[in-house]
Amino acid sequence: MAMTYSPLTIALTKGRIEKETEHLLTRAGFDLEFMADKGRNLIFESPDQQLRILLVKAPDVTTYVRHGVADLGVVGKDVLMEHPTGYLEMLDLNFGLCKFSVASTEAYNPNDHKRKRIATKYPTVARDHFNRKGEDVEIISIQGSVEIAPVIGLADAIVDIVETGHTLVANGLSIYEDICRISARLIVNKAALKNKPQVLSFIRQMEGIVGTEEVPFK
Ligand code: PRP
């Protein structure tokens, strides 16, 4: 008797990298017609029931994969650095390129010995970065619009994502230090990798398309 498997389930990050992920899936030969007209739907299944796509917020991609309700996930390295456990990172997809940087106003002195206040949406990344430099900093966690924090006096500097740099410029900030390159990654649930044959073939297929060579950011 032929074995039947539940659909290959992929959690995709809504927003910035959504289109590029869909483009990649199409290049891999998947017909995504079933999600052409998304409306407000967040879950999509192909008519042949081979593929299921969940559209979720970036940090939740890791949660769905960790709990095994998604076999695979596509999410930025920024999110993985902040939520580093419960999945295997399989592939650098080489799109969604940006970087983590430390930025502030002209008034910032990175060599100041006082304990710095760093505002960020990425407390783990920020703490790890300053720890590596041997600096104990106060982390102020905020949810967004981080760029105003040094301007308004909430923090001495920020740790945030920089893509075009336009948001920094618009708010009178400049980069003092780059932390690392960020790109979209393919992650997998460990049990799914072991037990669902189509998961490994999917990963191999993606590898064939994007290659294993890292595309640099700028
Ligand atoms: C990110 C980041 C910056 C901006 C950088 O925010 O926090 O604000 O993008 O992009 P740029 O260098 O091209 O200007 P995002 O747009 O993801 O919104 P969020 O604050 O809601 O997370």
How far, in Å, from the CA of 16 to the mean position of ligand 1? Answer: 10
Facing residues of 13 across strands? 56
How far, in Å, from the CA of 29 to the mean position of ligand 1? Answer: 31
Could you count the other beta carbons within 10 Å of the beta carbon of residue 148? 17
The pLDDT confidence band at residue 4, using thresholds 50, 70 and 90, is low
Which residues are CB-contacts of 187 (< 8 A; sequence separation ≥ 6)? 61, 62, 65, 72, 73, 74, 75, 80, 87, 88, 89, 90
Digit-coded pLDDT (tens) for 23-53: 999 999 999 999 999 999 999 999 999 999 9
Query: How many residues are given for the chain?
Result: 218
pTM for this predicted structure? 0.94
- CB-based burial label for 123 (10 Å; 0-12, 13-18, 19+): middle
Q: Does residue 149 line the site of ligand 1, with CB under 6 A? A: no
The single-letter DSSP state of residue 32 is: G
Residue 34 CB-half CA count within 13 A: 16
pLDDT at 165 over 70: yes
In contact, 117 and 210? CB cutoff 8 Å: no
Q: Whose CA is nearest to atom 22 of ligand 1?
A: 144
How far, in Å, from the CA of 177 to the mean position of ligand 1? Answer: 17
Q: Does residue 165 line the site of ligand 1, with CB under 6 A? A: yes
Q: Whose CA is nearest to atom 16 of ligand 1?
A: 16
In contact, 122 and 78? CB cutoff 8 Å: yes
pLDDT of res. 5? 64
Q: Does residue 167 line the site of ligand 1, with CB under 6 A? A: yes
Q: Does residue 45 line the site of ligand 1, with CB under 6 A? A: no
Mean per-residue pLDDT of the chain: 95
Digit-coded pLDDT (tens) for 77-86: 999 999 999 9
